[in-house]
Chain A
Amino acid sequence: MKTRRSFPQLIFEIVNTAIMLLLCIICIIPLWHVIMASISEPAQVDMATGFILRPLGSVSTKAYSLIMKYRGIWTGYGNTIFYVVAQCIITSFLSVIAGYVLSRKRFRYRGVLMGMITFTMLFNGGMIPTYMVVRNLGMLDQYSALLIPSALQVFYIIIMRTAIEGIPDSLEESARIDGAGEMTIMWKIILPLCKATFAVIILFVAVGKWNEWFTALLYLPTAKDKYPLQMFLREILIQSTTVSNAADAMDNAALYKTLAKYASIVVTTLPILCIYPFVQKHFVNGVMVGSVKG
């Protein structure tokens, strides 16, 4: 629909577009700066006073080869991929089971169970008592410490239940008449119809797990070999551990300190940034369903 615009409206639209463009730039520029600086010459990066919008000096990937030689990055990458995959499997399956059980009208205690689950949104034991439980279970410094205590979330259960409740009962009934058991109905009839919601849960879990670090700080006090990527990144970025090994001359490592930081940001953040534009639609749907019910 094309309407004629009055003069003040035209002004508003120009200003509005400018604001939107400015916001986009503000969102992008820090990472753009990091990417460009990471392939610049280190001496020129240290001299720059503003955001770096194009590579300074000759383009080089030296910072990347330096970061690739740092073993922590590889250990972290491996561990994080393991945590992401394992958590996706555990959480999505348990959420399907919980959602299925809570959507069964024949299940007499579903109100009780739902109440028990939603109450944990209002009130929880907090950091220390939960830590003590994990500790008493002997999970500290185990892989399971990062997987089992975070296995379920109310939000996932609710969106799964909502999706299952949206499936017409007749489908289930006809399967039952054909002799299908509870398990067959859940995995063969219900789950394929909730693929979208299943995907949303996997995406939420994967992104959350990729970025997680605090649980590792709590539950992996000494097991550095089990650290996820973000914990190694924390050492590089926050605690300023110099990325170097014996093969590199000392001055080189010092010179490239800032650039190695930038390169490590790029290496760890790029996977997420490449994926998120394609999955954001699912995220939007997930947020929507959760907000309607939650």
Chain B
Amino acid sequence: MAKKEIKGSVTARKAGYIEKGGIKALPHNIATDFKRNKTIYFLCIPIVLWYVIFCYLPMGGLVMAFQRYNVAKGITGSQFVGFDNFIRFFTGPYFGRVMRNTTAIGLLDLVLGFPAPIIFALLLNEVRNKSFKKVVQTTSYMPYFISMVVIAGLIKDFTQSGGVISNIVASITNSSAVNLLGEAKYFWWIYVLSGVWQGFGYGSIIYMAALSSIDEQLYEAAVMDGANRWKQTLHITLPGLAPTITILLIMRMGSLFAVGSDKILLLYSPGIYGTADVINTYVYRAGLVDMDYGFSAAVGLFNSVIGTVFLLVTNGICRKYSDTSLF
């Protein structure tokens, strides 16, 4: 009983109820606080309710990853099977395939997609003519606003045999034009390069902002010291961008394995599952096509745990070796 009271008082102290009048005035303070801020508490209700239902209930629902989940019986009635679903995934026939594809696409996207906006921003920053700069910027954001369905439709159309990109590839490799999306070996490149095309302009916004906030005096001083443009870029611009780059890199590492399912679902076909099937598309098929909910939730949980671990590790490394980190 006494223990409970102490515990209660800690919470009350944190909320600031017993600063005035000590523990005895606690009920009174709570009542006054609630009365005075009635509207605010009232306004909180929809927000808290939404977060509980659509964010925290699903988190609780992750219990199904450890169950042989049955829709009719629900979370409470389904049989608990421990790590069975995970073991089934790790030893299953598709584990190697989805892991390899997710890693490859994630890494390729990191290597090509992450530096692209930085390089673009640096080059764009060197453009002197203001209106030309503006036109280039506006044009480069455009692909970002096109829907994924249209992007996938364009990719499909351009890479079919006789399509524009197919023809270009054929003339480079000196072979006849084929349906590139039907060939497993091209998928990673199609996916990643189209992503770079869509994202480099929009991704550069944040770097352009960081560039404009670099102190102009630094450049003037460097010119005095005889530094050319390249030296200025190396010693002023890049260090000025470093914090932004670090933060975005940490966030990127967190989503390294979260290779999105929506674009791949639009592009792939059973013939190229060998290179196109990633964890998220597997989650989709296992859950919503095969209705193996518990198993699918387990695979999804595995994926998001990896993502969180990557985020924390990268954050830790960045905090140790630089002054910037996410938290």
Give me the interface of A with B, judged by CB distance under 8 Å. Answer: 9, 12-13, 16-17, 19-20, 23-24, 26-28, 30-31, 33-34, 49-51, 94, 97-98, 100-101, 104, 106-109, 113, 116-117, 120, 122-133, 136-137, 148-149, 151-152, 181-183, 186, 207, 210-211, 213-214, 217-218, 230, 233-234, 236-238, 258, 261, 265, 268-269, 272-273, 276-277, 280, 283-284, 287-288, 291
Cross-chain contact B205 with A284 (CB below 8 angstroms): yes
In whole angstroms, how far apart are the Cα atoms of A19 and B48 in the complex? 50
Knowing A20-B124, A50-B164, A101-B43, say if A128 contacts B308 (CB, 8 Å).
no
Cross-chain contact A276 with B53 (CB below 8 angstroms): no
Cross-chain contact B55 with A128 (CB below 8 angstroms): no
With a cutoff of 8 Å between Cβ atoms, the chain A residues found around residue B74 in the complex are: 136
Question: Could you list some 11 contacts between A and B, CB below 8 A?
Answer: A49-B162, A101-B43, A108-B15, A108-B33, A125-B55, A130-B54, A133-B53, A151-B54, A230-B149, A272-B146, A276-B142
B221 within 8 A of A: no
Knowing A128-B297, A183-B39, say if A233 contacts B126 (CB, 8 Å).
no
Cross-chain contact A16 with B127 (CB below 8 angstroms): yes
Cross-chain contact B304 with A126 (CB below 8 angstroms): yes
Cross-chain contact B201 with A27 (CB below 8 angstroms): yes
Query: What 4 pairs across the A-B complex have the smallest Cβ distances?
Result: A125-B58, A237-B153, A129-B61, A182-B39
Q: How far is the CB of B69 from chain A (nearest CB, A)?
A: 8
The residue of chain A having its C-beta at the shortest distance from the C-beta of B287 within the complex is: A128
Which one of A104, A127, A128, A280 contacts B141 once the chains associate, using CB atoms below 8 Å? A280
In whole angstroms, how far apart are the Cα atoms of A34 and B201 in the complex? 21
Q: How far is the CB of A219 from chain B (nearest CB, A)?
A: 10
In whole angstroms, how far apart are the Cα atoms of A113 and B145 in the complex? 33
Cross-chain contact A211 with B147 (CB below 8 angstroms): yes
Cross-chain contact A213 with B148 (CB below 8 angstroms): yes
Knowing A20-B124, A94-B47, say if A126 contacts B300 (CB, 8 Å).
yes
- Chain B CB within 10 Å, residue with most, of A94, A183, A211: A211
Cross-chain contact B145 with A284 (CB below 8 angstroms): no
Cross-chain contact A124 with B304 (CB below 8 angstroms): yes
B324 within 8 A of A: no
B237 within 8 A of A: no
Instruction: State the main secondary structure of chain B at its contact with A.
Output: helix
Give me the interface of B with A, judged by CB distance under 8 Å. Answer: 15-17, 33, 36-37, 39-40, 43-44, 46-48, 50-51, 53-62, 64, 74, 120, 123-124, 126-128, 132, 135-136, 138-143, 145-150, 152-154, 156-158, 162, 164, 167, 197, 201, 205-206, 209, 228-229, 244, 247, 261-262, 265-266, 280, 283-284, 287-288, 293, 296-297, 300-301, 303-304, 308, 311
The residue of chain B having its C-beta at the shortest distance from the C-beta of A99 within the complex is: B47
In whole angstroms, how far apart are the Cα atoms of A27 and B158 in the complex? 14
With a cutoff of 8 Å between Cβ atoms, the chain A residues found around residue B16 in the complex are: 108
The residue of chain A having its C-beta at the shortest distance from the C-beta of B229 within the complex is: A9
Cross-chain contact B262 with A214 (CB below 8 angstroms): yes
Cross-chain contact A106 with B37 (CB below 8 angstroms): yes
With a cutoff of 8 Å between Cβ atoms, the chain A residues found around residue B138 in the complex are: 277, 280
With a cutoff of 8 Å between Cβ atoms, the chain A residues found around residue B311 in the complex are: 122
The residue of chain A having its C-beta at the shortest distance from the C-beta of B122 within the complex is: A16
With a cutoff of 8 Å between Cβ atoms, the chain A residues found around residue B288 in the complex are: 128, 131, 218
Q: How far is the CB of B207 from chain A (nearest CB, A)?
A: 10
Cross-chain contact B149 with A20 (CB below 8 angstroms): no
Cross-chain contact A27 with B197 (CB below 8 angstroms): yes
- Chain B CB within 10 Å, residue with most, of A28, A124, A149: A124
Cross-chain contact B157 with A261 (CB below 8 angstroms): yes
Cross-chain contact B58 with A129 (CB below 8 angstroms): yes
Which one of B150, B153, B205, B296 contacts A128 once the chains associate, using CB atoms below 8 Å? B296
Q: A50-B167, A287-B209 are in contact. List 18 more A-B contacts (CB 8 A).
A: A24-B136, A26-B197, A49-B162, A97-B47, A101-B44, A125-B55, A128-B287, A131-B288, A132-B58, A132-B64, A137-B53, A148-B54, A213-B147, A213-B262, A237-B153, A265-B154, A276-B145, A288-B205
Which one of B40, B152, B297 contacts A129 once the chains associate, using CB atoms below 8 Å? B297
